[in-house]
Amino acid sequence: MTGPKRGITMTSPVLVEYDMRIKEGEQEEYDLQLIDGATDFCEVTTPSHPFTSQINGDCGAVDITLAHVVNAVEATIDVIVSEVRSGFNLSLGSYVFVGGSYQGIELLRDIIGESCVITRRYVIAVEMDSWMHLKLMVGREGSKYDDLERHCRFKANLHGYAHRQILLEHASISLKNAGQVVKL
C-alpha cells in the first residue's frame, strides 16, 4: 500500500504527536521504536496545574508533564555557548508561572568541552504578560553545578524579543527569547 504513514483526525484543539527512538546504528531502520503515537487534549479535561502522564511504548515508557495554560504565548529560548576557554558543567532551568505557582522545567544539563559553540533551542508555552525566569548554574569540569549561579528573566508577550549576554570566566553564554501567539 502506498501513501502516508499515518492519518490523524482532530477532535480536540491540542494534539501532541510523538515519535521517539533509541539510536542503535547509523541507519534509522536499525533504531528501536520507544514510543510512537499521538495524544489529544482539550481545555475542558486538561487541568491548569501541571500533571504527569506516562506514555508506554514497545521498548519502554516516557513521562510527559502537561498543563492547560490560558492566554498562552509560545516562548522560544535560544541558548548559544561560545568563546569557551575551559571545560565546565552547565545547567539551565526555566521557571514559569503555571496554575497559580512557579514551576521548574529543566532545559539543559551538559558538560561543555573546550573550544566549541553550542546552539540549542527550546520551546515552551507560558502565560502572556507573565515573567519567565531562567536559572543558569555553572560548575568546574568534574565538579557539581553549584560553583556559580546566575538568574535572568524575560517578559512573555506577543512578538516580543529579548536578549541577555552572560560573560563568565569559562565562556560567553547568550540567551535569546522570542514570543508569539499560541492558539489553544
User: Above 80 in pLDDT, residue 133?
Assistant: yes
Per the structure, the complete domain to which residue 55 belongs is given by: 14-66
Q: What is the pLDDT of residue 178?
A: 73
Residue 10: pLDDT band (50, 70, 90) is low
Q: What is the pLDDT of residue 179?
A: 59
Give the highest mean pLDDT range of 53-57, 97-101, 114-118, 156-160. 53-57
CB distance 73 to 158 below 8 Å: yes
Residue 4 resides in a domain: no
Quote the DSSP letter at residue 87. -
**141 lies in the same domain as 100:** yes
Residue 96: pLDDT band (50, 70, 90) is confident
In whole angstroms, what is the distance from residue 110 CA to residue 114 CA? 13
User: Above 80 in pLDDT, residue 79?
Assistant: yes
CATH, residue 107? 2.60.40.150
The two counts, helices (H) then strands (E), for the chain are 0, 12
Q: What is the pLDDT of residue 146?
A: 62
**79 lies in the same domain as 166:** yes
- The single-letter code of the amino acid at 41 is F
Closest CA to 53 of 64, 61, 43: 64
Greatest CA separation for the chain: 59
In whole angstroms, what is the distance from residue 119 CA to residue 175 CA? 10
User: Above 70 in pLDDT, residue 22?
Assistant: yes
Cell numbers describing residue 141: 569540569
Residue 163 resides in a domain: yes
User: Above 80 in pLDDT, residue 113?
Assistant: no
